[in-house]
């Protein structure tokens, strides 16, 4: 599917974004408030949601919370430039990525395509269709399913991508820039905390090793490492 759902109360901006997206080959649906946007996102007819944070009544953060209660559909948040609080909160709630406003239509299209490639399993994170096991962690890249000790993990597309990159290089540190390039499909921007927040979400969803540690450890000055059980 290539159907994009735009949720933004700025009708003029939505119309411009929708026109550009259609010219790039996407199908586009538009909603102008968070409540209707959340309902539409859960309809199963869209491939990705672009969700503005600042909206009346039900804002983008609350809409995302409702979406994540029952769906892992990819979500890009549109945040005010420099608004780190909304940005981090959105990522903590399970947004796949964010784009600061104002943004160019070209940048938005690039982010959408990167996430859809990853969600479809054709992004650069993919190295093999074969299942991957590291200790009690099992990954099925083709189905994009993950299990910890036989129990299914509820991961977003971005979280799965990050976990796959770390698991494929288990025992070795992976830089934040490599994680951003391979799992987010973009270079790591200065002061960008996206990787840190996604890793924090992953740690809360994964189990712990026999010694009580998280399998994802911080490597100071470098990035993160999926550690092997001794």
Q: What is the CATH number of the domain that holds 60?
A: 3.40.50.2300
> Do 113 and 141 lie in a common domain?
no
Query: Residue with structure tokens 């971005």?
Result: 158
Confidence of residue 82 (pLDDT cuts 50, 70, 90): low
> Do 138 and 222 lie in a common domain?
yes
Average pLDDT value over all residues in the chain: 90
pLDDT over 70 for what percent of the chain?
A: 94
Strand bridging mode 48-52 / 3-7: parallel
Q: Which domain holds residue 21?
A: 3-119
In a domain, 18, yes or no: yes
CA-wise closest residue to 93 among 60, 58, 140: 60
Q: pLDDT at position 128, please?
A: 58
Quote the number of domains for the chain: 2
Q: Between these two residues, 21 and 144, which has the higher pLDDT value?
A: 21
> Do 136 and 92 lie in a common domain?
no
* Rounded mean pLDDT, 125-149: 83
pTM: 0.83
* Rounded mean pLDDT, 87-111: 90
> Do 7 and 110 lie in a common domain?
yes
Residue 125 has pLDDT above 50, yes or no: no
Contact status, residue 206 vs residue 200, Cβ threshold 8 Å: no
> Do 180 and 115 lie in a common domain?
no
- What's the rounded Cα separation, in Å, for the pair 220 and 117? 31
């Amino acid at each position: 599917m290539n159907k994009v759902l735009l949720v933004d109360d700025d009708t003029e901006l939505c119309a411009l974004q929708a026109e550009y997206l259609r010219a790039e080959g996407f199908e586009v649906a538009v909603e102008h408030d968070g409540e209707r946007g959340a309902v539409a996102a859960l309809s199963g007819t869209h491939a990705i949601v672009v969700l503005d944070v600042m909206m009346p009544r039900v804002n983008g953060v609350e809409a995302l919370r409702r979406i994540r209660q029952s769906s892992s559909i990819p979500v890009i948040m549109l945040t005010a430039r420099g608004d780190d609080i909304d940005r981090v909160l959105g990522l903590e709630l399970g947004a796949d990525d964010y784009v600061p406003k104002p943004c160019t239509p070209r940048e938005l299209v690039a982010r959408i395509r990167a996430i859809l490639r990853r969600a479809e399993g054709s992004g650069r994170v993919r190295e093999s269709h074969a299942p991957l096991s590291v200790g009690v962690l099992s990954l099925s890249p083709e189905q994009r399913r993950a299990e910890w000790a036989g129990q299914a993990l509820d991961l977003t597309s971005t979280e799965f991508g990050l976990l796959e990159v770390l698991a494929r290089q288990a025992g070795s540190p992976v830089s934040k820039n490599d994680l951003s390039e391979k799992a987010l499909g973009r270079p790591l921007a200065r002061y960008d905390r996206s990787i840190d927040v996604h890793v924090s979400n992953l740690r809360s969803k994964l189990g712990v090793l026999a010694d009580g540690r998280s399998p994802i450890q911080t490597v100071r000055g470098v990035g993160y490492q999926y550690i092997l059980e001794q």
